[in-house]
Chains A and B, each alone.
Chain A
Amino acid sequence: MNTITSYAHIKHNQVSVNGSIVFQSGPLLKLSEFLSEAYKSIGLSYPKFHKMDAQCKLGFLCAEFALKETTFLTENDLSKTAIILSNAASSLETDRVHQHSINDKSNYFPSPAVFVYTLPNITIGEIAIKHKVTGENAFFVSGQLDTELLVNYIETLLSNGSEAALVGWVEVDGASFEAFIFLVESSKNINKNSIFKALNQSSVITIYNQTKWTH
């Protein structure tokens, strides 16, 4: 059975895991400051985090929060674990930073460290590198969270050799940002006492709307 076993949602300078807010910072904090505070809160030491662009940091942290307290990485074959992400703005925020660095021909210093993030699927790469996940991956660009596309795609993967998937939405566009990631495992069964849910469109919409944001 394909089961949603954990999920995390980051929005409005807050982080929720399985529907409950587990971290929040002041509502006026900038995205970069919020990400830095959220990183500290998770107690991780991963120097590469500081080199990522905002979108990768956001996706990376959302994945960390979703994975924390789970057995997802130890109980699944990581070579058969997929990472499927999506958003609307692709890598637009970092594209803007890169464009800014090459606008002025007399002050032309494009940064290689910025340029490498001018593709949205780098977010998948950062999560995959951290956790040594080597299964299928795809990054979809659509106007809004497309639950039908994501659920259909994961079901196809899980019926064709994949055993688990980390799935969701990671969006940064100017000051606006949101990440929503859920874990799907084919080996887990639902029991009454768990937060587990059957994978279908309705479940994904339910968990997406579950968090009661406080600001």
Chain B
Amino acid sequence: MDALIEKLKGQIIEQLNLAEVKPEEINPDSPLFGEGLGLDSIDALELIVLLEKHYGIKIQDPKDGKTIFQSLRTMAEYIKAQGKS
């Protein structure tokens, strides 16, 4: 799980152009939206693209996004549960 979280940190920084954020600054349990990384609605769409592009996971119901993208850890858990890690 830790390896997947570290991998995700790098992918998120690259995909979302978080040039001023270092991987070690991202707390896996901090909220991705609102506080924490302070991501916005366009970033949410980019995260959906990231899951599809790198892990072949398509989110069928957009409502699931709220739970999946709560934090880096919930994202990693979702990827693992899909058997795609």
Q: Residues on A close to B: CB < 8 A?
A: 45, 47, 50-51, 109-113, 116
Contacts and interface: CB of A to CB of B under 8 A. Distances in A.
A113 B52 CA distance: 15
B52 A112 contact: no
A104 B53 CA distance: 14
A112 B49 contact: yes
B1 interface: no
Interface in B22-77: 38, 42-43, 45-46, 49, 52-53
A113 B16 contact: yes
A113 B18 contact: no
Contacts of A51: 16-17, 42
A101 to B, nearest CB: 10
B42 A109 contact: no
B20 A109 contact: no
B19 interface: yes
A116 B52 contact: no
Nearest to B21: A47
A50 B42 contact: no
Contacts of A113: 16-17, 42-43, 45-46
A86 B42 CA distance: 26
